[in-house]
Amino acid sequence: MFDAIATKYDFLNHLLSAGIDRRWRRRAIRSLALTGRERVLDLCTGTGDLAIAARTARPAAARVVGVDFAAAMLRVARDKLWRRRLADTVTLVRGDATRIPAAGASVDAVTIAFGIRNVENINAACDEISRVLKRGGRLAVLEFSIPTMPGVRGAYLWYFNHLLPRIGRLVSRHDAAYGYLPASVGAFASPGEFVKILRQSGFIDVSAIPLTMGIVFLYTARRG
């Protein structure tokens, strides 16, 4: 599905979030408290926006590796890296988040934006992240949620379940992809449940921080 929408993905991301997605990514990278020396792994990197944000932040990660299993998404990411002259410090690897192609305790930080809910076995992915992170290494995960605030919740659900899939279908010309988005968010763990999963995988200092009225949560944690 992601291969089929790859060329329209960035445009729709910025359109459907009114550009706020860039702010969410910058916030996630800030939570890593980078010093300029880190090796960062961006899982489910897709078209690479979070990997790019890690490499262009100030201070930036020294090296970033982006992993995704959708070849067409990685092709879009590769073009962007070349255009921005980042291809020598951001490496893209085709791989699975539940079998991360990296040695144990080899990375300083792991990031995932809007990818974890798509992973079939979330527990396996969290165990793998814990394996590849150095002790004390940081994790930042961005994921959609359904706001709970009365008023906001109703308006958001209408936008998310009705308007967004229509715009998505019109622009991407893919029937299912933007109907899948609200369905997958509804099926994903609640913030409390995801915090529990992270703790079970050996993470400490786990927080779930609501962004933009709880439309998105930033989960931060450290490898214990």
Ligand X SMILES: C[S@@+](CC[C@H](N)C(=O)[O-])C[C@H]1O[C@@H](n2cnc3c(N)ncnc32)[C@H](O)[C@@H]1O
Contact residues for ligand X, defined by CB under 6 A: 2, 13, 44-47, 49-50, 68-70, 73, 96-98, 113-115, 118-119
Q: How far is the CB of 57 from ligand X (least distance, A)?
A: 15
138 is written with which tokens? 């940081």
Nearer to ligand X, 50 or 221 (CB): 50
Q: Which lies closer to ligand X via its Cβ, residue 23 or residue 37?
A: 23
Q: Which tokens belong to 208?
A: 């779930």
Which residue number has the CB closest to ligand X? 46
Name the minimum Å distance from CB 151 to ligand X. Answer: 27
Query: Nearest distance from residue 46's CB to ligand X, in Å?
Result: 2
CB-nearer residue toward ligand X: 176 or 224? 176
Tell me, letter by letter, the H, E, C secondary structure of the chain.
CHHHHHHHHHHHHHHHCCCHHHHHHHHHHHCCCCCCCCEEEEECCCCCHHHHHHHHCCCCCCEEEEEECCHHHHHHHHHHHHHCCCCCCEEEEECECCECCCCCCCEEEEEEECCHHHCCCHHHHHHHHHHHEEEEEEEEEEEECCCCCCCHHHHHHHHHHHHHHHHHHHHHCCCCHHHHHHHHHHHCCCHHHHHHHHHHCCEEEEEEEEEHHHCEEEEEEEEC
Minimal distance in Å, beta carbon 55 to ligand X? 14
In the bound complex, what is the minimum distance in angstroms from residue 148's beta carbon to ligand X?
23
Comparison of 43 and 60: residue with beta carbon closer to ligand X: 43
Cβ 6 to ligand X shortest distance, Å:
8
The smaller minimum CB distance to ligand X, of residues 3 and 205, is found at 3
Cβ distance to ligand X smaller for residue 59 or 101: 101
